[in-house]
Amino acid sequence: MRAQDALIAATRQLNEAGIVGAAGDARRILAYVLGIAPARLTLTLQDPMPKGAQERLDAAIVARAAHQPVAQITGKRLFWGHEFRVTRDTLDPRPETEILVQTALEQPFTSMLDLGTGTGCILISLLKSMPMAQGLGTDNSPAALEIARDNAEALGVSKRANFIASDWFDSIIGRFDLIVSNPPYIAADEMAALSPDVRDWEPPGALSPGGDGLDAYRTIARDGGARLTAGGRILLEIGPTQGAAVRDLLAAQGFIQIAILKDLDGRDRVVAARKPSEASNGTLS
C-alpha cells in the first residue's frame, strides 16, 4: 500500500470516529510512524509503506479514534519552537500558554520559579530565551518531574534548571525575580463538559483542584509575595472567566500593576502582577 492510500484510510477512520481535525491528525500520526517531519510527508506519499509501518499506523489510529491526544501517541509536542516529551502524566502543552512565556520575556530576570511545572515547557522555554537565568520547577507528581528533567536535558538547560517535588510553596526556600504557573483551574462542575481528549486522557489533578477552580490561585496569592524579590513579577495562566477573581485575590495580598492579558482568540488568559519595591508603601513582605 502506498503512504497516500494509508493516509486516506486513516483520515476516513478518524472522521468516522468524530475526531475534529481528522486530516491533520492523520498526517501527523503517519509522519510519526514513518519517522519523518510532518512537513516532509507530501514528498513520501507515493512511496510504499515500509515493513511494519501499516501495523503501527493502525494501532495509532485506533488510539486517536479513542480520543487519545496526538501528542501522547507520538510522545512529543511543539511549544515555543521546541519539542517536548509528553506522556499521560503531564498536560499537553497548549499554544495559548505561549502568551505567558511571551509576557515573561518582556522584562529580564535572573531567577524564576515555575509552580506545577508538568513537562517543564514554561520554565525550559524561558531559560532557553534568557541564557543568564536559573530556574526551579516544582510538581507534586514524581512522574511529571521525571519528564521535565528529561526535557531540560534534551533541550540543553539542565545545568540551569532544577526540579523538586513540592505542594505549591511547601518545599520552597529563597526568593525569585519571577514566579510563573499554569495551575489546575477547571471548576469541578465544568469537568464533564471537557473534550474527551482532555477529560479522559490528561491527569485530572493537573486539570482541576475541585470546587470553584480557584484554590491554587488563593494559595499562590497568599504565599507568593514571600517568595518574590522586591519588584518581582508573578504571571498566572487562568481560565477565560477567572480574570477578575484572580486579579482581586492578588490585589487583596498587596500586589500592584495587575493586568489581565488576552490570548489570540481574545479570551482572558494570563494575570500579571508585581510585588511592590522596597521603596514603595506596599504591604508584601
Q: pLDDT per residue over 220-242, tens digit each?
A: 999 999 999 999 999 999 999 99
Q: Taking all residues of the chain, what is their mean pLDDT, rounded to a whole number?
A: 96
Q: Does residue 173 contact residue 167 with C-beta atoms inside 8 Å? A: no
CB-count exposure of residue 113 (10 Å: 0-12, 13-18, 19+): buried
Yes or no: domain 80-274 corresponds to CATH 3.40.50.150: yes
| Model confidence pLDDT, tens digit, residues 172-200 | 999 999 999 999 999 999 999 999 999 99
Asked if residue 282 has pLDDT above 70, the reply is no
Asked if residue 277 has pLDDT above 80, the reply is yes
Q: Residue ranges per domain, the chain?
A: 3-66, 80-274
Residue position matching grid coordinates 525575580: 177
Q: In the prediction, which pLDDT does 141 show? A: 97
Tell me the average pLDDT across 120-132.
98
Pairing of strands 134-139, 161-165: parallel
CB-count exposure of residue 216 (10 Å: 0-12, 13-18, 19+): buried
pTM: 0.94
Instruction: Report the phi/psi class of residue 21: left, alpha or beta, with left for phi > 0 and alpha for psi in -120 to 50.
Output: left
C-alpha grid cell, residue 149:
528533567
CA–CA separation, 149 vs 215, rounded Å?
27
CA–CA separation, 56 vs 26, rounded Å?
13
Q: Could you give the angle at the alpha carbon of 238 between the alpha carbons of 235 and 242, nearest 5°?
A: 120
